[in-house]
Amino acid sequence: MNTINPLFAFIAFGIAFITSKIINSKYKLEISSSRNLSIDGLRGFLAVGVFINHSSVWYRYLHTGDWVNATSNFYNQLGSACVALFFMITAYLFVNKLLNTKENYDWSGFFISRIFRLGPAYYFSFFLILCVIFVIDRKLNVSLSRFILSLGHWLLFTTFNNPFINENGFTKIINAGVLWSLRYEWLFYFCLPFISIPILKKIPPLKTVILSVIFLMIFLKYRSIDFNHIYSFLGGAIAPFLIKYKNRNFDTKYISALVVLCFLGIPFFHTSDIFFSKILLIIAFNFIALGNTIFGILKKSSLILLGEICYSTYLLHGILLFITFHLIIGKVVAIHFSEVQYWICIFMLTPFVITISFLSFIWLENPGMKLSKKLIKKIKNDNR
């Protein structure tokens, strides 16, 4: 059983946008003038796209019991292409910061900011996963030491391993398995000191180099690397160099049309890992990073709000899908839903996903970012 009709996705996108618009009417974003609004708007599409992708995966999972990628090119690319673009955004942002560094790069501040940026919402999602597991199991099924060891891996963002918690087979499905991408985010962060050498023309502090080497050694021991994701990071790192050395307006209707054509070409391929699919994504992304707003769409405040809360949306949508179809409705009932009935449930769930993601951003992500700035400032003052 597969979802192939793109109309369901467009309706879900519309509901997410309307929900964001309602929230934005009550909560006004404080956006720095230095922000790239095109990138912020793009992120708004991406997190919702991953949610819709996993909604289609859940429909098939309910009917077959197999947690596998969507067979529809369109729905599969809402996951594959969107995550590839997230990786490009990461590379763009941090390579751009390196290129604009005028003094010594604050590596301690960088790693502190990453922990406080990714940590609060992640640990909240982890807490929800634990709650769901014990609602299902109601007791400890493994030894205390084994349970604690599994928690340790998850506390490290599952970077080196992501074992079942309490031997619960649903562990990796509860959040739709999204944490694999954080592993590559951390890999990029610890590679960044070495990437910085030809850009800054200086070697980072010894402690930073040692920390990065240790991380990479452990990572490579326990994890293999899919270079298709590395190509996404490389594709995202192109724009910062073009921005630095080129001066041209890329927000024109002709370039917008070209970007749209690139995106329209993506569903002709099943995954972003296919060469031509990756090339189309890289072309489209770099024009957006250079300032193209796709006929002004990416500058919409409601879309930018979706971009602000995209990390929480990414982490929480899978948990909300699991709670809805496994704990509230129940698989026995949901399996009898027609495709239309199923997607009506998704449409009803969408405002909750956006609202809870917004609250997570306000209560967890934003305070975490503010706290990291205070901590970094204090460390700098203490070192003077």
Banded model confidence at residue 31, pLDDT cuts 50, 70, 90: low
Banded model confidence at residue 248, pLDDT cuts 50, 70, 90: confident
Banded model confidence at residue 332, pLDDT cuts 50, 70, 90: very high
% of the chain surpassing 90 pLDDT: 90
pLDDT tens for 279-312 read 999 999 999 999 999 999 999 999 999 999 999 9
213 CB contacts (<8 Å, ≥6 apart)? none
* pLDDT for 382: 78
* pLDDT for 89: 98
Mean pLDDT across 355-377? 96
Give me the numbers of helices (H) and strands (E) for the chain, helices first please: 17, 0
% of the chain surpassing 70 pLDDT: 97
Mean pLDDT across 126-152? 96
* pLDDT for 3: 80
DSSP 59: H
The amino acid sitting at 136 is: I
- How far is Cα 267 from Cα 384, in angstroms, rounded to an integer? 54
* pLDDT for 33: 60
Q: Would you say residue 34 has pLDDT above 80?
A: no
Provide the token pair at 275. Answer: 């060469």
- In Å, how far from its chain's centre is CA 331? 27
Q: Would you say residue 374 has pLDDT above 80?
A: yes
CA angle at 46 for the pair 44 and 50, rounded to the nearest 5°? 125
- How far is Cα 217 from Cα 126, in angstroms, rounded to an integer? 26
Provide the token pair at 317. Answer: 């949508």
Question: 94 with 239: CB under 8 angstroms?
Answer: no
- How far is Cα 125 from Cα 379, in angstroms, rounded to an integer? 29
Instruction: Give the chain's mean pLDDT.
Output: 95
Q: Label residue 276 exposed, middle or buried (CB < 10 Å: 0-12, 13-18, 19+).
A: exposed
Banded model confidence at residue 32, pLDDT cuts 50, 70, 90: low
> Measuring CA to CA, which residue among 50, 11, 79 is closest to residue 313?
50
Mean pLDDT across 77-105? 95
> Measuring CA to CA, which residue among 231, 249, 232, 257 is closest to residue 290?
249
* pLDDT for 268: 97
pLDDT tens for 161-182 read 999 999 999 999 999 999 999 9
- How far is Cα 183 from Cα 187, in angstroms, rounded to an integer? 6
Mean pLDDT across 192-212? 96
Banded model confidence at residue 28, pLDDT cuts 50, 70, 90: confident
* pLDDT for 49: 98
145 CB contacts (<8 Å, ≥6 apart)? none
Q: Label residue 355 exposed, middle or buried (CB < 10 Å: 0-12, 13-18, 19+).
A: middle
> Measuring CA to CA, which residue among 228, 154, 240, 151 is closest to residue 184?
228
The amino acid sitting at 25 is: S
- In Å, how far from its chain's centre is CA 107? 23
